[in-house]
Copies of this chain bind each other. A is one copy, B any other.
Amino acid sequence: MFSFKPALAALAMVSAEPALAQASGEERRRRGEDVMRTLNQGQPQPALEGLRRDFPDLADAITDYALGDVWGRPGLDHRTRQLAAVSAFAALGNQPFLRVHAGYALNLGVSEAELKEIVHLTTVHAGFPRAIEAAQTLGALFAERRAAPGARP
């Protein structure tokens, strides 16, 4: 972690993006692991760890590319990115990923009311069934968090 921050600061002085894109394998891995800790309150993600045994390369691609290269980019704050992900997964009808990203959003301080607004928008973007399914997913997540405030999904 400590070695990461100065490197980023140094990059910011020149032109971050080509350098980021061509970061070494170790830097990408470290950046991806940092993003996961930020989103998941310092903990590893159980679904990701579950993949690692049978699909180690896919787990590495998630860490290095999805988390490191993409979610680790500057240029959009973490909250906006999670709201964008929640909106996309609600519209696509992907309940498990909606749940994971709504959980990250709550971890980052997004309110339940803001997540409900995204679901309400989904009635327009993708129809009432998608919005109703998203509401049921969020309702279950909210209930679980209230029942066990310390636990994370």
A interface with B by C-beta (< 8 Å): 1, 4, 11, 15, 17-18, 20-26, 28-29, 33, 47, 50-51, 53-58, 60-62, 64-66, 69-71, 73, 75-76, 80-81, 83-94, 96-97, 113-114, 116-133, 135-136, 138-139, 142
Summarize A's interface: helix, strand, loop or mixed.
helix
Chain B residues, Cβ within 8 Å of A120: 57-58, 61, 70, 73
A121-B85, A139-B55 known; A128 vs B92 contact (CB < 8 Å): no
Q: Which of A4, A86, A125 has the most chain B CB within a 10 Å cutoff?
A: A125
- Assembled-state Cα–Cα distance A89/B124 (Å): 11
C-alpha spacing A92/B133, complex, angstroms? 14
- Contact, CB under 8 Å: B129 / A94: yes
Do B142 and A54 have beta carbons less than 8 Å apart? yes
A60 to chain B, nearest CB (A): 4
Q: Which chain B residues border A118 with CB–CB below 8 Å? A: 76, 84
Known: A65-B69, A126-B126. A58 touches B96 (CB 8 A): no
The answer to whether A124 touches B87 (Cβ under 8 A) is: no
CB < 8 Å: which of B23, B92, B132 contacts A25?
B23
Q: Which residues of B contact A139 (CB under 8 A)?
A: 50-51, 53-55
